[in-house]
A and B are shown apart, each in its own frame.
Chain A
Amino acid sequence: MIINSISMKNFQCYYGDLERNTLIFKEGLNIVIGDNGAGKSKLFDAFYWVLYDRVFSTDSREFVSTNVFKDKLISEKAKHGCEIGGTVEVEVVLLAKASVGTEFRISRLYNAKKLTDREWECDPASRMMISEKKAVNWSLVDRAKHDSVLRRVIPDHLKPYMWFQGEQVDSLMDFRDKTTLTKAINLLSNIDIYDDLMAISKKGQDKAVRAFRKAQNKVSKDKDKSETLNSKRRGLEERVGKLRDSIENNKEQLEIAKDKIEELIGRVDEASDKAELKKKKEYLEKSLDEESTRLDSKYNGLHKKMFTDYWVLKHASPFFDNYSDKYRSYFDAHNKAVTAENAQEVKLPINIPQPIHVNQMLDEEKCFVCGREAHKDTPEYDHIKSLLVRQEVDAKKGPFVNDCSKMFQGIYDNALGFKQLISNIDNNVAEEFASIHKLIESMDDKKKEISDIHERFEGLLEGDESENIVNAFRTHETNREKYHELVAEDGKRLASIESELAKVIAEIDKLVEGSIDSAAEQANTIFNDLVAVAESVRTNVFADLIVELEQEANSLFKGMSENNPAIKGRIKLKRISSGSYIPVIVDANGYIMHNPNDSNLVLVKLSLIMSIILSRGKRAERFTLITDAPTAKMATNYTKGFYSVLSEKFTQSIVATYDFLNAEDRSQLSGFNMGSVYLLQSYTPGGDPDNRSDLEVEIARIA
């Protein structure tokens, strides 16, 4: 909706009836110019009060409701002019028009009866009325529909970012608060759908996991062991959770230390030196990290090499010789036995010749095969006779019950093959250690180079006027190193516990006998997948929003600052370990700027606020942006860009400001998409400027 006008009756400094205190607005940039005390903030209050029954208390620096503010809401002059027993009526009327042409009249009334000069009997509450224009008449809107109309004037989620006072900019976009950006994005985008999806799927996952474990225990072949393992699992899961938290915290501290270092380096003016050192430092740190990983991997593999490269056999050769001797004896004995067995081997198969023929040969004392005589009691006769008593010999088995020759030969050959390898072990070990030492030396060199760069930074920082800047730099460097190590150590511990946890879970799985309730099993799998998908989608969507936001904010910032070469820096939305983003201002080299000037900062914050509204505000540009003194902290020549962006990006904006008090400055507004321009001036008709009981505001439309 677009705001057509606002009228005030006896509202704070706006003494008199509605007609004389009316401002009419149009689409485009509407400007209400006024010096300090001219009534700009009270005008902002009027917008707020008519819709939300609240005004900004300058005493408590917060919005308070009418029943707290009471008679302070009433014009002093109206109060003064009221006789005892009389009543003063306060009213603000806002006329708004929807894009489809529907017009609404929103008014709020509040009465107070004068009891004595200082005592007032105020209405317990203000009254709101909303009317809709039907043809030429106004028709009251049912109270139940009030909220809906108000939301059409300015939706709740947009309100903080589209209706704000200059002094609220800092709190709206507090760069030190890591939740600022997340809150804004959550409010203004549909990211909450993904948050809901995550919450639902996690809830489902918890339930599914519980059901699955119950079902798993039911079919365990050793329920006691399952219970013990489950207890161990719970303990490990708790430790994993704690370690993850610890890593998270340390990462955050690490980021803070890094940011502080960046901030301090950002102070150094020598841009080329700084850029060169930064580049070198980044390269060295990256290389150092890579080498550290390689060293870990080498240490990791070092003991393994005792087995994969057989280093453990380093002194084993003499013991092979013992086996060798034993094997030789065995070999001889084994072969002798085989030979003896072979010697006994009969050439003719069993029952050849058949026993009937053998007996015939014995009867005739003659060998039918060779024809020679074989008289009784001669070796020839006995040999023929032995053919009858031959035992079947198991040719396959040979003379042994357990023939181990193949095995003994196999392990002998295997050990023999190690001979050359074992003689090289010393060299291999030495080479590996040399390689480790070389890596350590290289890392030491890099550490030294990084330390030299720090010293050079310290040298550059010494030129800074701040006293303890070098000490601060050292402190943050020490912290950076400390937290870097803590994160790495916790990471290793976490990996170890997660590995142990995986084993415990595997052991629990092994105890399962039969099949687990398939529904419980499927639910477990499905919810695990669902949580992973929801988390991944949410992360990606949020990251996309951030990219979009950063581009939009920088585009606005550039637009607002293009006429001011003095303005430096660009907005960077920096991801922190918790997954949140914080806005930082960085210089051309990517260093976080330390204490950029206030004008710069306000412009950056406004860019961010407007980019949040415009990029994710769900048709925000159709609503009216109302702000009071947004440029208060900006130097005069910084403001043009801001008004330019407002006029281009928003269908309607209403800005109360003391810019353009000088008539000649108003020429800056030419070329903008302008609405109305008003000049507010407070005055006392009686001529005494200190007499607040005579205070009125003159509203003059000047364009």
Chain B
Amino acid sequence: MNAIEKKLYKINPVYLSDYEDMIKSHAQFGGGAADTKFTGGKSFSNVYEFYIYAFFIGLYKGLKQELVDDDKTKTFWEMESWKPRELVDYLLVCAIGQSKFDMIKIEKADDQEVVEQVKLLKQIIEQYANGGLKYISEILQEQEDLVDDHAFFIKMLSECVDN
């Protein structure tokens, strides 16, 4: 693993504090055994699972939420701890494809430029994920009962493009 790869997987994306309650309601904080996930009333056994899900929802629906310095945000785990790794790699593929991240430039970049390039990637991940979280949050606010459906998040995933 080269220095850039290390830096990419050290990305520790954030979400807006506004979504914390929703995330807490649906994701197990601090991980937990997968087999207790459902019994705990949580659809996601980790925050990163919810975050990855939200990223793809944002991506599929083309929803980005820009974060500014004044925003109150929360961090959780660095990407190197997210699982499965193949899925995280795919997320990176999508993020690179959608961002201004310059694959050519970074190979010749100095430290400062590398930081800027990695930041571009972090930003796009955060924008889609927070865009997805905003969308989920709005849907749930409209129809709270939906969460009683065991397949709610799967249906949302299916419908987010078809509709």
Q: Which residues of chain B in 98-151 are interfacial with respect to chain A, using CB atoms and an 8 Å cutoff?
A: 98, 103-104, 106-110, 114, 150-151
Q: Is the CB of A314 within 8 A of B96?
A: no
Q: Which residues of the partner chain B approach A99 to less than 8 Å between Cβ atoms?
A: none
**Which of these binds chain A: B13-21, B66-74, B81-89?**
B81-89
**Interface residues of B toward A: which range?**
35 or more
Q: Is the CB of B38 within 8 A of A402?
A: no
Q: Is the CB of A403 within 8 A of B44?
A: no
Q: Is the CB of A404 within 8 A of B103?
A: yes
Tell me if B75 is interfacial: C-beta within 8 Å of chain A: no
Kindly list the 5 A-B residue pairs having the minimum CB-CB distance in the complex, ordered from nearest.
Answer: A322-B97, A300-B38, A323-B97, A496-B40, A330-B103
Contact of B87 among A310, A403, A408 (CB under 8 A): A310
Q: Which residues of the partner chain A approach B96 to less than 8 Å between Cβ atoms?
A: 323, 326, 411
Q: Is the CB of A495 within 8 A of B40?
A: yes
Tell me if B60 is interfacial: C-beta within 8 Å of chain A: yes
Residues of A within 8 A of B (CB): 296, 299-300, 302-304, 306-308, 310-316, 319-327, 329-330, 333-334, 400-408, 410-412, 414-415, 418, 429, 433, 492, 495-496, 499-500, 503, 507
Using A302-B154, A400-B107, A401-B109 as known contacts, say yes or no to A307 and B84 having CB atoms under 8 A apart.
yes
Q: Is the CB of B5 within 8 A of A407?
A: yes
Contact of A429 among B109, B114, B154 (CB under 8 A): B154
Q: Which residues of chain B in 43-85 are interfacial with respect to chain A, using CB atoms and an 8 Å cutoff?
A: 43-45, 49, 52-53, 56, 59-60, 83-84
Using A303-B43, A307-B87, A314-B157 as known contacts, say yes or no to A402 and B35 having CB atoms under 8 A apart.
no
B interface secondary structure, majority: helix
Using A407-B2, A408-B103, A410-B89 as known contacts, say yes or no to A316 and B154 having CB atoms under 8 A apart.
no
Q: Which residues of the partner chain A approach B158 to less than 8 Å between Cβ atoms?
A: 314, 429
Closest to A398 in B: B107
Return B52 CB to nearest CB of chain A, in Å: 6
A311 CA / B4 CA spacing, docked (Å): 29
Q: Is the CB of B49 within 8 A of A307?
A: yes
A310 CA / B8 CA spacing, docked (Å): 21
Q: Which residues of the partner chain B approach A319 to less than 8 Å between Cβ atoms?
A: 59, 93-94, 97-98
Closest to B35 in A: A300
Given contacts A302-B150, A311-B157, A404-B2, 19 further A-B contacts (CB under 8 A): A296-B39, A303-B49, A304-B34, A307-B52, A313-B56, A313-B87, A313-B90, A314-B157, A315-B60, A316-B90, A320-B90, A320-B97, A324-B97, A402-B3, A404-B106, A405-B107, A414-B86, A492-B41, A495-B36
Return A406 CB to nearest CB of chain B, in Å: 7
A323 CA / B87 CA spacing, docked (Å): 15
Residues of B within 8 A of A (CB): 1-5, 8, 28-30, 32-41, 43-45, 49, 52-53, 56, 59-60, 83-84, 86-87, 89-90, 92-94, 96-98, 103-104, 106-110, 114, 150-151, 153-154, 157-158, 160-161
Interface pairs (8), CB distance under 8 Å: A307-B52, A322-B94, A324-B97, A330-B103, A404-B5, A407-B4, A412-B93, A496-B41
Q: Which residues of the partner chain B approach A403 to less than 8 Å between Cβ atoms?
A: 2, 107
A405 CA / B4 CA spacing, docked (Å): 11
Contact of B37 among A300, A312, A323, A326 (CB under 8 A): A300
Q: Is the CB of A315 within 8 A of B98?
A: no
Return B92 CB to nearest CB of chain A, in Å: 6
Q: Is the CB of B106 within 8 A of A402?
A: yes
Contact of B89 among A307, A308, A314, A415 (CB under 8 A): A415
Q: Is the CB of A303 within 8 A of B153?
A: yes
A408 CA / B90 CA spacing, docked (Å): 11
A410 CA / B5 CA spacing, docked (Å): 11
Q: Which of B90, B110, B157 is most buried by chain A, counting CB atoms within 10 A of its CB? A: B90
Q: Is the CB of A402 within 8 A of B114?
A: yes
Closest to B153 in A: A303
Q: Which of A299, A312, A405, A411 is most buried by chain B, counting CB atoms within 10 A of its CB? A: A312
A296 CA / B37 CA spacing, docked (Å): 11
Q: Is the CB of B40 within 8 A of A418?
A: no
